[in-house]
Amino acid sequence: MVNGVADGAAAIAGSIPPWGPAVAVGMIALRTAFNSGFKPRDFNEVASRMQGAIQLDWLQGQNLPPGWSRDDIQDALHWIQTTILNNGSR
């Protein structure tokens, strides 16, 4: 959305002489700086560590939801793996 607004404003500014083209170049430079400063962070490693810690706790019988049986744990672990694979991760 930011890119579209910046490009539209730059196109309009570029058509207004005499300073329009200079303003348009400045707007494009600001858009480029904005885009380079806001790259999405990659949380895959953190998510994998958290997933592993939860699964290990459950397999060791720690931090289980109240009333869970061994079958409930296995079902939950299987569900986690299937969901992650289905979402295109790993």
Q: What is the pLDDT of residue 54?
A: 86
Write the secondary structure of 16-78 as one string of H (helix), E (strand) and C (coil): CCCCHHHHHHHHHHHHHHHHHHCCCCCCHHHHHHHHHHHHHHHHCCCCCCCCCCHHHHHHHHH
For 48-87, write each residue's pLDDT tens digit: 888 888 888 888 888 888 888 889 888 988 888 888 777 7
Domain boundaries, the chain: 2-37, 44-86
Q: What is the pLDDT of residue 90?
A: 54
58, exposed or middle or buried, with CB in 10 Å at 0-12, 13-18, 19+? buried
pLDDT confidence band for 8 (50 / 70 / 90): low
Residue 27's CB: how many other CB atoms inside 10 A? 20
Q: What is the pLDDT of residue 65?
A: 83
